[in-house]
Amino acid sequence: MTEVSVTKKGQITIPVKLRRKFRIEEGSKVEVMEEEGNIVIRKLPSIFDLAGSGAGKGDVEKLKRILDQMRAEDA
């Protein structure tokens, strides 16, 4: 466990070890949510993370939903 501080603006820094492990780079998108009384930060997949993931029909549908979500966020 790594302890981080929250700034006046509510910002935190994700430790470099975790950024490297989860490939969180400048411009990466993360989702912040509450789960069972805890704050959870989850990396959202980029188009590059999804390369080669279309092995089956279920994967294609998942890819379409993710792309639609990403397009909506960019709009």
Enumerate the domain spans of the chain. 1-44, 45-75
Q: State the chain's mean pLDDT as an integer.
A: 86
Q: What is the pLDDT of residue 54?
A: 55
Q: What is the pLDDT of residue 55?
A: 57
Residue 3 dihedral angles phi and psi, to the nearest 5°: -90, 135
Q: What is the pLDDT of residue 53?
A: 58
Asked whether the predicted pLDDT for residue 58 surpasses 80, the reply is no
| CATH of range 1-44; options 2.40.160.20, 2.10.260.10, 3.20.20.70, 3.50.30.30 | 2.10.260.10
Asked whether the predicted pLDDT for residue 62 surpasses 90, the reply is no
Position 15, amino acid: P
User: How far is residue 75's CA from residue 71's CA, in Å, rounded to a whole number?
Assistant: 6
pLDDT tens string 29-57: 999 999 999 999 999 887 776 666 555 55
Place of tokens 């279309």: 54
Residue 26 token pair? 């400048």
